[in-house]
């Protein structure tokens, strides 16, 4: 096994974000765009997808339907944007830790545990985050956002392992990295659905399962 504290190495790319969406450029348009999304998040947080519709959004945002449809043709387009933002926030957590793994002296189990902790925190801080994760799992049209996010994190994890010389590229490594991402995500979903009282126990267990699945120590 190669040392985790080897010499200088080429910087690796961060976990990729989703493709750039068409965004408003004028200040007033940006304010409208963000107001729509903020109102949508509030509705998701309050009543989930059941109370999420265009009429409720325009009423909450204090605007007319044409102003909404200028940027979003339907509620699914809004959910697409919110889901992408949430997955990008989660990806940023993984990216930060993976970039420093092997250089900061933090053992692998602690790194995985920290990723899980911070990913849960950014999800809790994202208004409507729990409801959005439910949508990403339950709505087929949105599933690609979650899958693309998980593929990106798994690829970044595999790349980091290879750069550290811990293992060569292989289909088995790819599969193990993808499994690790799913294990961590499932643990976060479990806590959001059942309550945070067992946060430490669940995340400790998930981190151990992830490390065992990676099998690089």
- What are 56-93's pLDDT values in tens digits? 999 999 999 999 999 999 999 999 999 999 999 999 99
pLDDT over threshold 60, residue 47: yes
Q: Which pLDDT score, from 0 to 100, does residue 14 have?
A: 47
Residue owning tokens 């697409």: 80
In which band, very low, low, confident or very high, does the pLDDT at 1 lie, cut at 50, 70 and 90? very low
Main-chain phi, psi angles of 82, to 5 degrees? -65, -40
Domain shared by 91 and 62, yes or no: no
The answer to whether position 65 is within a domain reads yes
Q: What is the pLDDT of residues 145-200, one digit of tens each?
A: 999 999 999 999 999 999 999 999 999 999 999 999 999 999 999 999 999 999 99
The answer to whether position 4 is within a domain reads no
Domain shared by 161 and 201, yes or no: yes
How far apart CA 142 and CA 54 sit, in angstroms, is 18
Domain shared by 83 and 115, yes or no: yes
Q: What is the CATH number of the domain that holds 128?
A: 1.10.357
DSSP state of 74: S
| Residues 6 or more apart whose Cβ sits within 8 Å of residue 122 | 89, 90, 92, 93, 129
pTM of the model: 0.86
Q: Which pLDDT score, from 0 to 100, does residue 21 have?
A: 52
Range of the domain at 184: 79-214
Q: What is the CATH number of the domain that holds 50?
A: 1.10.10.60
Domain shared by 97 and 204, yes or no: yes
Domain shared by 59 and 132, yes or no: no
Domain shared by 168 and 122, yes or no: yes
Q: Which pLDDT score, from 0 to 100, does residue 190 have?
A: 97
How far apart CA 145 and CA 99 sit, in angstroms, is 23
Choose among 172, 36, 39, 177: nearest CA to 115.
Answer: 177
pLDDT over threshold 60, residue 18: no
Angle at 179 between CA 208 and CA 167, to 5 degrees: 80
Residue ranges in 101-142 assigned as alpha helix (H): 108-125, 129-138
Q: What is the pLDDT of residues 51-62, one digit of tens each?
A: 899 999 999 999
């Amino acid at each position: 096994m190669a040392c985790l504290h080897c010499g200088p190495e080429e910087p690796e790319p961060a976990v990729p974000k989703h493709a750039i969406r068409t965004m408003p450029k004028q200040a007033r348009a940006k304010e409208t765009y963000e107001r729509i999304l903020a109102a949508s998040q509030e509705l998701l947080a309050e009543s989930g997808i059941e109370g999420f519709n265009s009429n409720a959004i325009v009423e909450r945002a204090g605007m007319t339907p044409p102003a909404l449809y200028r940027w979003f043709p339907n509620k699914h387009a809004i959910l697409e944007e919110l889901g992408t933002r949430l997955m990008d926030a989660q990806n940023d957590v993984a990216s930060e830790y993976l970039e420093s793994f092997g250089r900061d002296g933090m053992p692998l189990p602690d790194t995985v545990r920290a990723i899980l902790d911070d990913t849960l925190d950014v999800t809790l801080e994202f208004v409507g985050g729990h409801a959005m994760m439910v949508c990403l799992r339950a709505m087929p049209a949105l599933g690609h956002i979650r899958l693309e996010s998980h593929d990106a994190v798994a690829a970044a994890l595999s790349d980091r392992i290879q750069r550290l010389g811990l293992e060569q590229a292989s289909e088995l490594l790819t599969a193990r990295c993808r499994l690790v991402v799913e294990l961590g995500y499932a643990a976060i979903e479990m806590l959001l659905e059942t309550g945070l009282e067992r946060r430490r126990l669940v995340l400790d267990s998930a981190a151990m399962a992830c490390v065992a699945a990676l099998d690089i120590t």
